[in-house]
Amino acid sequence: MAPSVPRTRTAAALRMKQIALDNQGRKIRRLIAQLATERRGLATMKKELEDTQVALEASHKVIAGLTEIGLSMAKKIEKMKVKKQQVRANHVECHQKFQARIHKAEDSMQAQHLLNEALVDEKDSLIQTIHGLQEANNAPAPFDGDWEEEPEEEPEEEEIEDIPLGEGEIYDE
C-alpha cells in the first residue's frame, strides 16, 4: 500500500488544488458579476450626471435670460422715475407761473381800483371847484338839483384762490 499513498496524496493535493481553482473561478465569476453590476450603476450615474448637467446648463440660460429681463426692467423703471420727476418739476413750474399770473392780475386790479378812486376824487374836486367858481362869479349853476351823483359801486371782486401745490393728479400717457 505504500505505493498508493503518494498517489493518494498527489491525488488529494490535485483535488485540493482543483477545489481551490473552482473556488477561485466562482469568486472571479462573482467579482465579474459585481463589476458588471457596478459598471451598470456607474453608467446609470453617468447618464444622470449628464442629464443633470444639461438641466443645469438650461437653468443657467434661463437665469441669464431672466437677469437680462430684470436689467431691462430696471432701466425702464429708472427712465420712468426720471420722467415722473420731470413731469413733477414741469407741474411745479407751471403752477408757479400760474400763481405769478394770478398775483400780477390781482395787483393790476388793485392798481386800477386805486386809479378809479383817485379819478373819482379828482372829479369831485373839479366839480367843487366849478361850483366855487360859479358861486364866486354869480353864474347860474349848470348843474341843477337834477344832478345826481352815481353811487359808487364796489365791484364784487372774485377772489382767486391759490391752487395748493401737489393737489390733483398728473397722468402720463
The predicted-structure confidence for 109-158, as pLDDT tens digits, reads as follows: 999 999 999 999 999 999 999 888 888 888 765 555 555 566 666 656 66
What nine digits make up the cell of 33? 458579476
The domains of the chain are located at 1-136
Rounded to two decimals, the pTM is 0.43
Q: Could you give the CA distance from residue 109 to residue 117 in angstroms, rounded to a whole number?
A: 12
What integer pLDDT is reported at residue 169 of this predicted model?
56
Q: Could you give the CA distance from residue 85 to residue 79 in angstroms, rounded to a whole number?
A: 10
The predicted-structure confidence for 70-107, as pLDDT tens digits, reads as follows: 999 999 999 999 999 999 999 999 999 999 999 999 99
Q: Could you give the CA distance from residue 156 to residue 25 in angstroms, rounded to a whole number?
A: 124
CB atoms within 10 A of CB 23: 10
